Amino acid sequence: MTQHTDTVTVDVTVDAPIDKAYRVFTTGMDTWWPREHHIGSGPLAEVVVEPHVGGRLYGREADGTECPWGRVLEWSPDTHFAFSWDIDLSWKPESDPARTSRVDVTFTALDPGRTAVTLVHSGFENHGPGWESMRDAVGSPGGWPALRDNYAKVVAA
């Protein structure tokens, strides 16, 4: 994991072909996203990624309530997926796109069965004063590094 003053980067090489690596990270996010990483008020039942530019990322709670937390900004199977991080500094949904950050995930085939995956979370300053707390939280061992490890285990299975 690399943390600069304004970005958080995590890398992993997975034992999976590029198309599977992309699919599991995107439309398969529900298989590796931890249930405790949820900003809604009820228990998280499912993580949903709508597979197109403009699509939503949201958690569906056990009672069916949807809790939005991102928008698909780039959908380029099997090489690039980007989404907005529509979460404010108090870990609630952020409805103002100007106050969100960005997550870019790139996929590079190393050979037919291995893929390099790089995630860069940037634009934290858009969250406003105190933005460093968001950067520090997602860059902590329980943030993107833990999610990367969950993803790597699931995609290799």
**The two three-digit tokens of residue 15, written as one number:** 């034992």
Looking at residue 52, its pLDDT comes to 98
39 in a structural domain: no
Is 41 domain-assigned?
A: no
As for how many domains the chain has, the answer is 1
pLDDT tens profile 56-85: 999 999 999 999 999 999 999 999 999 999
- For residue 70, is it within any domain? no
- For residue 35, is pLDDT > 60? yes
CATH number for the domain harbouring residue 96: 3.30.530.20
pLDDT range class, residue 5, cuts 50, 70, 90: confident
Over pLDDT 70: what percentage of the chain?
97
Q: Is the pLDDT score of 4 beyond 60? A: no
Domain contains 102: yes
| Residue 58 within any structural domain of the chain | no
Range of the domain at 116: 2-34+76-156
Q: Determine whether 141 is exposed, middle or buried from the number of CB atoms within 10 Å of its CB (0-12, 13-18, 19+).
A: exposed
For 110-136, the pLDDT digits (tens) are: 999 999 999 999 999 999 999 999 999
In a domain, 51, yes or no: no
Considering the domain boundaries, does residue 42 fall inside one?
A: no
Query: Within a domain: residue 95?
Result: yes
pTM of the model: 0.94
Give the pLDDT confidence score for residue 3 in this predicted structure. 47
- Residue 107 CA to residue 91 CA, distance in Å, equals 28
Token pair for 94? 């952020």
